[in-house]
Amino acid sequence: MKKRLSLRFDGFDVLKWIIYLFFFVFLIIPLFSILLVSFTGEPVNLFGSLTNEKILSSTLKKLSNVSVEAYTSIFTGGSGYFEALVNSLKLGVGVALLVTIVVLPIAYAFARTKMPFKPFFAAICTIPLIMPTFISSYAFVLMFGKTGWVNHIYQALGGEGVLFDVQSMMGIVLVQVFFFFPYALWPMVAAFKICDVTLEEASQNLGAKSWYTFMRVTLPLAMPGIISSMLLIFTVSFSDFGTPIILAPKDLNLIVVEAYREIAGFFNWAGSAVLTIIMLIVAAFFFWLQRMVIKGKEYGTISGKPTKQKLNDHKGAVSVLTAYTALVMLVPLLAVGSVFLSSVATTWGHHALPDGYTLDHYKTIFSTSGKNIMNSMLLAGGTLVISVIISTFVSYFVVRRGASGLDFVSSIPLIVPGIALGIALIQTFNTAPLHLTGTALLLIIAYTIRRMPYMIRSTMSSMMAIRKDIEEAAVSLGASSLVAAITVIGPLMLPGIAAGAILVFVTVIKEASISILLAPTDWAPMSLAVFQNLLRGEYYTACAMAILIIVIVVILQALAKKITKDQLY
């Protein structure tokens, strides 16, 4: 009996080291090697160095040529990298500030007023989250482009030219504001909800007017939450690839686009490595900053009890806030509508409405792009399987065996922008012995790593929800640990795993940066097909495919939601 027990533990340990190895090979080494490349200016083959002496000696020679030249040259000019970094920082800061200003009243309305239609507004808020950003960007082109329907209306009303140039920094900022605001909305709603109403009443009791109470009590209490979501928006905006790739004009340098061009256009390894490292540093810094803000400022957790909220029902305030919320929500709604209209239009652009309607574009995608749909399903399915296996075991190790190292390693991808991960993987696995660049496997691994932190959160929370004594109860009733795991823990965890798995599937289907960077032609998924169609000028079929993606995502997300709801016994 004793012998079997110790064998089983060994098995678990082996499994743990296999998972560590996975992260080491596909995350740590690539990031490390890109760091080396940024200093040597030449490709470095780390895996080759381990197996082949010649490669090793050439690697060592390259390493002896280490210099910080690549970094200093950023500032001395010429490459345009510095400009790209500054532009990206400007974009991130601008979007973060704007989102905060735009969302603040909506968050307040959700958290603290008797605003009507809250569930409806909440449903609309999911639209931006399910639309890949490059599709939202194209939706903005459909609306605000030179032949966009908004501008047709604008001209009909007597305006001259266009409202604004959508292919500009302004366009990028607007798309990001309207499509990233839900990331900030819910944390801010939560921030407003934690303010204990008794504090506000105390302030009013002390003679403060309600606006003064808001400014001096409510707002300061919500501040950590607001700042933290602001920093989150910065990181999301800074790392976003979909919007700039569609909307950035030739003369606007942004770091993600620059990095993409360096690797995909010019095969400039050193340049893309430097840019990747810069992106990583910025993203990591803001991620760290966000953690610092949340840390130690958790006013909300002072009393463990849920605080009761008094909802503001001032008629004037509520109707103004409702109208404002509706207006903001209208933009993503119109964007989806535009994509849909374009997908059923014969041609569109001469007038505010399409010239005619047809379903031909859908026929086209099903006849010519069936392969892309299939690819998406296979890639997402593969990612799902690997993610489920790894994350289930990682959460088991972390929750039940206190393996905090694994927790740390598996959350590193949170700070790695998609494009950076893509570049790191391409460079590392470009040559033998592990020549994986251009294979579906590397694509699947990239998806897996990128989505791993989210999947782990999902499985970990369902693992933590199962109290240890449930397992002990089964054991005291006669079941061995294994039988208890199969008959009790398994069934209890299943909904959490299933919901997490569906969400992984969904994000893979809408993933843009990694697909565009890593997908081989044979394995082009739907998102890449949309992107290529847009580049080729096949706008209507791109829109039809985009609608298909959105429909799949909506259905799967609803399914995941239903599963998690049913989980609450």
CA end-to-end span of the chain, whole Å? 36
Amino acid sitting at position 140: F
Shortest distance, CB of residue 494 to other proteins, whole angstroms?
9
- Scanning 240-268, the segments in alpha helix (DSSP H) are 242-247, 255-260
Q: Tell me how crowded residue 521 is: count the other CB atoms within 10 A of its CB.
A: 8
Q: With contact defined as beta carbons under 8 Å apart, do 450 and 418 qualify?
A: yes
Closest CB to other proteins among residues 201, 566: 566
Nearer to other proteins, 327 or 482 (CB): 482
Shortest approach of other proteins to residue 465 CB, angstroms? Answer: 10
Smallest distance from the beta carbon of 557 to other proteins, in angstroms?
24
Q: How far is the CB of 403 from other proteins (least distance, A)?
A: 17
Tell me the number of residues near other proteins by CB under 8 A.
20
Contact positions with other proteins (CB under 8 A) in 1-60? 1
Backbone angles phi, psi at 320, to 5 degrees: -60, -45
Residue type, 303: S
Number of neighbouring beta carbons within 10 Å of residue 296: 7
Closer residue to other proteins (CB): 147 or 476: 476
3-state secondary structure at position 357: strand
Provide, rounded to whole angstroms, the least separation between the CB of residue 489 and other proteins: 10
Do the beta carbons of residue 485 and residue 543 sit within 8 Å? Answer: no
Nearer to other proteins, 333 or 473 (CB): 473
Q: Facing residues of 312 across strands? A: 113
Query: With respect to other proteins, which residue has the nearer C-beta, 308 or 467?
Result: 467
Residues 464-523 that bind other proteins (CB under 8 A): 467, 469-470, 472-480, 483, 486-488, 491-492
By C-beta, is 159 or 490 nearer to other proteins? 490
Nearest-approach distance from CB 483 to other proteins, in angstroms: 7
330-335 contact pairs (CB < 8 A, 24+): 331/178, 332/124, 332/127, 332/128, 332/131, 332/136, 332/178, 332/179, 333/124, 333/127, 334/143, 335/127, 335/131, 335/136, 335/139, 335/140, 335/143, 335/178, 335/179
Interactions with other proteins, residue window 416-475 (CB under 8 A): 467, 469-470, 472-475
Q: In whole angstroms, how close is the CB of 524 to other proteins at the nearest point?
A: 40
Residue 5 or 21 with smaller CB distance to other proteins:
5
d(CA 410, CA 451): 10
DSSP collapsed to 3 states, 428-486 = HCCCCCCCCCCCHHHHHHHHHHHHHHHHHHHHHHHHHHCCHHHHHHHHHCCCCHHHHHH
Nearer to other proteins, 1 or 68 (CB): 1
Minimum distance from residue 290 beta carbon to other proteins (Å): 34
What residues contact residue 262 under an 8 Å CB cut-off, 6+ apart?
268, 271, 272, 275
Cβ proximity to other proteins: between 67 and 487 the closer is 487
Q: Is 304 in the site for other proteins (CB under 8 A)?
A: no
Q: Please state the closest distance from residue 536 (CB atom) to other proteins, in A.
A: 51
Query: What minimum distance in Å lies between the beta carbon of 402 and other proteins?
Result: 13
Closer residue to other proteins in complex, CB, 497/550: 497
Name 139's Cβ contacts closer than 8 Å, sequence gap at least 6. 131, 335, 336, 338, 339
Q: Which is nearer to other proteins, 63 or 470 (CB)?
A: 470
For other proteins, which is the closer residue by CB, 346 or 480?
Answer: 480
| C-alpha 480: how far from chain center | 41
State the Cα torsion 405-406-409-410 to the nearest 10°: -150
> How far is 375 from 372, CA to CA, in rounded Å?
5
> At closest approach, how far in Å is the CB of 562 from other proteins?
17
Instruction: Report the number of secondary-structure helices (H) and strands (E) in the chain.
Output: 28, 0
List beta partners, residue 113: 312
| Residues of the shown chain interacting with other proteins in the complex, contacts defined by CB under 8 A | 1, 467, 469-470, 472-480, 483, 486-488, 491-492, 569
